């Protein structure tokens, strides 16, 4: 009975996390050091700051652990591709160092639009940054379309807030200052087509 409430606490806006889930931060980095404000989207320096990377990394880690992954027994590793956000890939690498997801070793790949376009294999999770704000990076969606045409792809595709027709989830920034967090937009039909559904704790974080 307590499990959903524990996950809601971990998914909440507070920056205080248990040591096992939090990526280590330098002593000089804190909520007051980075002017995080979800109402000021469109500034890549803020949108991709270490604080936001920590929030997105936490959501991706927990989602990977709690999601039902169809046909996972046919994979040799749990592969997470991160496009356009090196700090997030680094956070995930630290967060998942020595861990497995669903019994599989985890592989983190940091990519840009070009390397995604040229990538031949599939991912378990593909995260796309640069999709939100007043001037989203059009090269990301173009690369995604090119990559997805090569063969049948079953990756769970997540954006950093932008709406892309082929994406399954969007993690949107919310709040400001020390009270920043994320809410979720799901494309239910896309998820159903892949045999997936959001775990209950994440359904409590759907954007209003």
pLDDT in tens, 12-30: 543 333 333 333 323 222 3
pLDDT band for position 43 (cuts 50, 70, 90): low
What pLDDT sits at residue 30?
Answer: 32
Which letter, b or e, does each residue of 24-48 get, where b requires 16 or more Cβ atoms within 10 Å of its Cβ?
A: eeeeeeeeeeeebebeebeeeebbb
Quote the CA–CA distance of 170 and 6 in Å, as a whole number: 22
Secondary structure class of 83 (helix, strand, coil): strand
Half-sphere exposure at residue 96, Cβ-oriented, CA atoms within 13 angstroms: 28
On whether the 53-203 domain is CATH 3.50.30, my answer is: no
In this predicted structure, what is the pLDDT of residue 145?
94
Distance in angstroms (rounded) separating the CA atoms of residues 104 and 47: 31
Give CA separation, 38 vs 13, 78, 178, in Å.
Answer: 12, 31, 11
Most confident of 67-76, 130-139, 191-200: 191-200
Q: How far apart are CA 111 and CA 120, in angstroms?
A: 13
Q: Which residues are CB-contacts of 125 (< 8 A; sequence separation ≥ 6)?
A: 60, 63, 64, 78, 79, 80, 81, 155, 156, 158
The H-or-E segment that residue 104 falls in is strand 104-111
pLDDT tops 50 at residue 6: no
Name the least confident of 22-36, 71-85, 160-174, 182-196.
Answer: 22-36
């Amino acid at each position: 009975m307590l499990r959903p409430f524990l996950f809601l606490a971990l998914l909440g806006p507070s920056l205080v996390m248990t040591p096992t889930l939090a990526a280590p931060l330098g002593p000089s980095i804190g909520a007051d050091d980075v002017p995080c404000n979800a109402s000021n989207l469109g500034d890549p320096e803020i949108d991709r700051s270490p604080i936001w990377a920590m929030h997105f990394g936490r959501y991706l880690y927990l989602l990977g652990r709690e999601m039902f992954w169809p046909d996972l027994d046919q994979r040799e590793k749990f592969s997470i591709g991160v496009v356009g956000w090196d700090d997030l890939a680094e956070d995930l690498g630290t967060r998942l160092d020595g861990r497995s997801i669903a019994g599989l070793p985890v592989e983190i790949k940091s990519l840009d639009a070009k390397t995604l376009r040229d990538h031949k294999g599939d991912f378990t999770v593909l995260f796309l940054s640069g999709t939100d704000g007043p001037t989203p990076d059009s090269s990301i969606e173009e690369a995604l379309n090119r990559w997805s045409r090569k063969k049948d792809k079953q990756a769970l595709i997540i954006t950093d807030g932008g709406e892309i027709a082929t994406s399954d989830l969007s993690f949107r920034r919310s709040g400001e200052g020390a009270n920043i967090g994320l809410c979720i937009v799901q494309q239910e039909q896309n998820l159903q087509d892949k045999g997936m559904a959001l775990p209950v704790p994440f359904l409590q974080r759907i954007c209003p």
